[in-house]
């Protein structure tokens, strides 16, 4: 077997719908207030898609921005991999105006990574393997979700947390072996299946009047259980990937974690002895956009000048199930 090729991120694009739902708006819907939400999760506002706007609509907008940044067309892609919570929203290559002939010759079709909030880091590594082996040259990885479509806005335990958004990165071979993806870790712990889930849908509980009346098609969460697991697992996974690469937390230039809860992020950063300026937090403006949080946070880091060529970057996520993942890389542009 030939040596694997180093893989880099060569472009980034993000998109959020324009409509905002603020904490003040939520005060009119459920028994909550701005102080309660900010203290517990660190969110002030979140973007919501209008009715009828699908996950694929957001994904396409983010993809277009990434392709434009790289200066290529969708027909140049070898594969598109979508990380998402709600995989029933089918993403179509045709939405990017990809010629049918090119799709048939170069790409077997879209791939879906449905790993909840960890979906983007899982999709990122799936795409990286295609490029690393030489079978693909350009793979677009997208994290996108319209969580508002499966949130009960009378349930204050969930409606204050989630927002909608999308982000896309382009993966290509790295000419400079010192740049690009270095290492990754993924774990699945099935003990969290009843702590954050949607009971309705699929073959077990297909949509009926009864499942709708029982609100089974909305997200249900045991917040305390999720918080406890996320604090422990995100930190331990990051510690492991840093240990096996002989890197200290203080050496990380940009820590870009899943944006589920500000307290989880800061607890992880403190345990790893990270420099405060290296920790990327944008949850206040977007909420938890599940599969989209990490690329959206990448864009925030870039806009703030904290993501530059050669920066040592650590991505980390914990999601429903429970799923978890971490990726270590050097930013390539």
Residues with a known catalytic role: 117, 258, 288
Give the number of other Cβ atoms within 10 Å of residue 284's Cβ.
Answer: 15
Count each helix (H run) and each strand (E run) in the chain, helices first.
Answer: 11, 13
* Residue partners of 53: CB distance under 8 A and separation at least 6: 17, 146
How many Å from the N-terminal Cα to the C-terminal Cα in the chain? Answer: 30
Q: Identify the CA nearest to 192 among candidates 157, 227, 234.
A: 227
Give the number of other Cβ atoms within 10 Å of residue 29's Cβ.
Answer: 14
Whole-number Å distance between alpha carbons of 147 and 167: 14
> What DSSP character marks residue 165?
E
Whole-number Å distance between alpha carbons of 322 and 221: 12
Which residues, in sequence order, are bridge partners of residue 165? Answer: 145
Strands 7-15 and 164-173: antiparallel
């Amino acid at each position: 077997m030939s040596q694997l090729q180093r893989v880099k991120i060569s472009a980034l694009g993000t998109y959020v719908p324009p409509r905002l739902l603020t904490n003040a708006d939520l005060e009119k819907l459920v028994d909550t207030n701005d102080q309660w939400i900010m203290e517990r999760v660190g969110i002030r506002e979140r973007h919501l898609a209008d009715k009828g706007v699908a996950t694929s609509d957001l994904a396409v907008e983010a993809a277009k921005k990434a392709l434009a940044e790289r200066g290529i067309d969708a027909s140049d892609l070898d594969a598109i991999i979508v990380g998402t919570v709600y995989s029933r929203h089918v993403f179509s290559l045709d939405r990017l105006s990809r010629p049918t002939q090119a799709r048939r010759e170069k790409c077997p079709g879209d791939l879906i990574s449905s790993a909840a909030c960890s979906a983007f880091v899982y999709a990122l590594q799936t795409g990286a393997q295609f490029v690393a082996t030489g079978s693909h040259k350009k793979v677009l990885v997208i994290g996108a979700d319209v969580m508002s479509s499966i949130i009960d806005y009378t349930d204050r335990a969930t409606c204050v947390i989630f927002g909608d958004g999308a982000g896309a990165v382009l993966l290509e071979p790295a000419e400079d072996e010192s740049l690009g993806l270095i290492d990754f870790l993924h774990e699945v712990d099935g003990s969290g299946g009843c702590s954050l889930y949607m009971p309705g849908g699929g073959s077990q509980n297909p949509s009926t009047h009864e499942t709708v009346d029982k609100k089974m098609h909305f997200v249900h969460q045991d917040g305390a259980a999720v918080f406890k697991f996320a604090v422990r697992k995100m930190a331990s996974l990051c510690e492991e990937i840093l240990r096996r690469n002989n890197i200290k937390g203080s050496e990380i230039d940009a820590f870009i974690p899943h944006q589920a809860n500000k307290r989880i992020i800061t607890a992880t950063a403190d345990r790893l002895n990270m420099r405060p300026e290296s920790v990327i937090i944008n949850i206040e403006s977007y909420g938890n956009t599940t599969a989209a949080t990490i690329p959206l946070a990448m864009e925030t880091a870039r806009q703030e000048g904290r993501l530059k060529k050669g920066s040592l970057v650590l991505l980390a996520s914990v999601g429903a199930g429970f799923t978890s993942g971490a990726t270590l890389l050097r930013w390539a542009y």
